[in-house]
Amino acid sequence: MPCWIDTHCHLDAPEFAADLPAVRQQARALGVRCCVIAAVHASTFDEARQAAHRLGDAYALGTHPLYVPQAGEDAAQQLAAALQAHAGDARLVAVGEIGLDFFAPALAAPPWRERQQALFRQQLKLARRHGLPVILHSRHAVDAVLRHLRETGPHTGIAHAFSGSEQQARAFIDLGFKLGFGGACTFERATRLRHLAAALPLEALVLETDAPDMPPHWLYATARQRASGQLQGRNTPAELPRIAAVIAGLRGMPVQALAEAAWRNTLEALPRLAGLGLD
């Protein structure tokens, strides 16, 4: 059976509070050997860390751009303190989820646009100081993210849920980043994304679920379906092998070959994972 690493999920989210051990065991039974739990706000740092230790997984710490309005002026200081406190923790593998989000009009306008970028740069500098890769969020902001990476780098890590152009993808690759692909690739209408998943160099790809967010097409319910009473399926790391099978099909390659490449790529992007005895 192929072995997988879910490079991005949120197992500390409230959606998993009632049955987290069972959720994780289901994924493990399907070959998901490790999940990287990405924190989104200082208030979730402890939950992400504790979940990773309890489940035998890994975690990243950072403030997500969508949480910048809730973050205090001391958000960078809180991250600095947490990184220092847990510097010796082998399960702390990255700074993340950090980045920029200019999709929501309120966040794309002053003052939050500037606040996002200032905090992003502070978090990038902390990652460099602690020798950690970064896990990046970028929505309608890829060029800005790339600019800040170049100005504060060098950096390495993962561009999570990549959805930019092929030119932007190759810009990330040139900087040494891997690109995260997940459930969005399972939608036939996502033609550009599916092209990227098929055409980009194999050594640039890593796999993720973003659970409980970004469900694959077999879990997704449209607004009309939800209005008629159909429930949205909950995305979990157990969906990763099936998502990977779709991506392998797009690339015309065996699932096992994709699993081996994605595993190797993930360890390159997040080197501390190698110390967790996953092999």
**47 φ/ψ angles, rounded to the nearest 5 degrees:** -65, -45
- Torsion angle in degrees (nearest 10) through CA of 192, 193, 197, 203: 110
Sheet containing 157-159: give its strands across: 4-9, 32-38, 58-61, 92-101, 134-139, 157-159, 177-181, 205-207
Residue 8 annotated as lining a ligand binding site: yes
Contacts of residue 57, defined as CB under 8 A and 6 or more positions apart, other chains included, come to 11, 24, 34, 35, 36, 37, 51, 91
Residue 210 annotated as lining a ligand binding site: yes
Residue 41 annotated as lining a ligand binding site: no
Peptide bond into 212 cis (omega under 30): yes
Q: Point out the annotated binding site for a divalent metal cation.
A: 8, 10, 97, 137, 160, 210
Binding residues: 8, 10, 97, 137, 160, 210
